[in-house]
Amino acid sequence: MASAMEQPGEKLAAGAEGCGEVRGEPQAAGESIEDRIRLLLRLRAQTKQQLLEYKSMIDANEEKTPEQIMQEKQIEVKIEDLENEIEDVKSDFEMKTLALNRMKLSAALTNNMEKMDAESSVLTDDMKHILELHKLIMKSQEESSELEEKLLDVRKKRLQIKQTSRSMLLEIQTEKSKQKKDLDNMENSDVIKTMQKKLQMEIKITTVIQHVFQGLILGSKTNWAEDSALKEIVLQLEKDLNTI
């Protein structure tokens, strides 16, 4: 009986060694994912360094220009996008590694199940149960992968909405700044100043004429209150042109 129990153990070890022959391709895929992760981490570090340089340049000025704000927002969005991609690649790598290990175990168990004799029926039943659990786990992983893809789509849409809103806000700020600048230029322009001087001169002349007419009407001792037309003229002459 002891020899019968030792034999399945030796066969299990042999199956595990035999399963090692299929490691090449998945291992190469794992190395490719690791290279991608390292590349993304390096890109994120470079982007953060670039953002720090832009911030140091911007902080040196009292006011940020719209172009500087746009560059800063674009870099922040790029960093967020890279971080999300890194997390997705890490999660995918971990799931593939876990699936690979389970596939190795499943292959070893399957190979040994074919070689086991009747005396190890209990162990065979346990292995069958393990394989069933493995299938359930693989199915759950597939469903989880689908949910992660949907979550990634939601993140991308949210990022697009955020980028669009930032662009619109920046356009509004740029337009307001442009309008304010144009208004300041108009108020300080020589043409506006000349027109204002002419207007003040015309107001003064018109005011003098009003006073002259008022003096003539009052000097004539006419009862202008009884004449509706004359009354309207007098009331118009009493208006202050500076308040119009």
Could you list the pLDDT tens digit for every one of the 244 residues in the chain? Answer: 333 333 333 433 334 344 344 344 444 545 566 777 777 777 777 777 777 776 676 666 555 566 666 777 777 777 777 777 777 777 778 777 877 777 787 777 667 666 655 456 666 677 778 878 878 888 888 888 888 888 888 888 888 888 888 888 888 888 888 888 877 777 667 777 788 888 888 888 888 887 887 777 777 777 777 777 777 777 777 776 666 5
Exposure string for 172-203, b = 16+ CB within 10 A, e = fewer: eeeeeeeeeeeeeeeeeeeeeeeeeeeeeeee
State how far the Cα of 149 lies from the Cα of 152, in Å rounded to an integer. Answer: 5
Place of tokens 């890109």: 43
Position 58 scores a pLDDT of 62
Helix (H) or strand (E) holding 99: helix 66-115
- pTM for this predicted structure: 0.33
At how many degrees (to 10) do helices 228-237 and 190-219 cross? 140
State how far the Cα of 42 lies from the Cα of 190, in Å rounded to an integer. Answer: 56
Domain boundaries, the chain: 11-188, 191-243
Measured from the Cβ of residue 120, the count of other Cβ atoms closer than 10 Å reads 20
